[in-house]
Amino acid sequence: MIVSAIPIRLVDMAGSALMILFSLLCVQQALRLRRKDPKNLVWTYLLWLCFCLAGFAVSRSGGHILKQFMTMAGLEPVWGAMGPVAGGINTFLLIIVAAVTLFFNRVRHVYQQINKDKQALQSAHNELLALNQSLEKRVRERTDALVEHEKQMAHADRLASIGQLSSGIAHEINNPLGIIQGYTQLLLRGEPEGGQRREDLQIILKHAKSCKAIVEDLLNFARRSQPEMADINIHEVIEDALVFIRHRSKMENVRIEKNFGQDLPAVRMDEKKIKQVLVNLVMNAGHAVSQSGTITISTQYDPRQRQLVVGVADDGYGIEKRHLSRIFDPFFTTKPTGEGTGLGLAVSYGIVKSHGGEIVVESRPGQGAVFRVILPVAGKAIAKGAYHG
């Protein structure tokens, strides 16, 4: 019984044709992936590999189809001569596949190294940007500090010049005022109660004392004595200042609230001078609330800056923005004529500066004002307890 070989040959030819078709579809898919991401080395390698395998499929499958046709046509001797050539082509294409694989393996290593170098460059670039930004920030901070220092130096020079002038004027006026006050008191001794002359002399004495107080302010402003430093409990100084104010000012209707921090470190200060600063600030706050508002005195410690902050806040009208830059200038005052010399804050500014501290003000019209005295601290905590008025 003779079995026909035609079905087998047809299956072989159909399989070879499908191999060619599938290899071309693989090339098409690889091209699509390559177009989507042309910089991706994997898709480039896959495309080259598909081209080589497609060439191998065409060569091998085409050889099979050609062999079957020649066999059916009785041209087997011709195929016998062509077979080695087709086999050589197939072998060459497989060698190309191997070469492409080795080439892209090497390229992959180079590409990875390039990526590492790129990442290193990017990291260095980011570091340079960060350093540049940090440098710019430091330059701005340094510039701002220099500008602020120049302002402080100019303010200090202005204070020194005015202080010298004030000292001369105060000394020249002080002696005549003392004589006027003394003789007025002598004349009052011989005047009966209720007389017009006695009332006139009392008016003279009153205004002489007022001038004397202004001269004292001038002398306090002009004095540049070194503070007598000691480790002091700031809360005790505040309490002493409040006792002094209650006995010497008309602030009966003013509510004073105290919000003191606990376990505050000692402050190295001249007790009398800092007390003078606190009296000035509280008296100014009392004037700001028109003798019928609330004044809040607070203390707190900043451990990072090692500074103690004493705040004096009021709920008065506040300070106009145009006045804030001049608030510590000598003889500048927002009080009505005859109610202030404009030296209290200037004297306070000088005292705090001599302690190595700062005095700052924050205010908005209609929202009151707060003055903060910032002082460097000494060491151990002695200001025990918290107070709430």
The helix/strand/coil state of 166 is helix
The predicted model gives 10-16 an average pLDDT of 67
Query: Among 26-30, 123-127, 161-165, 175-179, which is the least confidently predicted range?
Result: 161-165
Cα 376 to chain centroid, rounded:
22
Q: Is the pLDDT of residue 100 over 80?
A: no
pLDDT digits (tens, 9 = 90+) for 231-281: 888 999 999 888 888 776 677 778 889 999 888 888 888 888 898 899 889
**Rounded to two decimals, what is the model's pTM?**
0.49
CA angle centred on 254, ends 251 and 255, rounded to 5°: 135
Q: What percent of the chain has pLDDT above 70? A: 71
Mean pLDDT of 145-155: 72
pLDDT digits (tens, 9 = 90+) for 195-208: 788 788 788 878 77
Mean pLDDT (whole number) for 324-329: 79
Q: What is the DSSP letter of 268?
A: E
pLDDT of the residue at 298: 93
Per-residue confidence (pLDDT) for residue 389, from 0 to 100: 39
Rounded mean pLDDT of 128-132?
87
**For every residue of 212-233, which 3-state class applies, written as one string?**
HHHHHHHHHHHCCCCCCCEEEC
CATH code that applies to domain 227-389: 3.30.565.10
Average pLDDT on 205-228 reads 67
Instruction: Match 């001269």 to its residue by tokens.
Output: 215
* Residue 301 pLDDT greater than 80, yes or no: yes
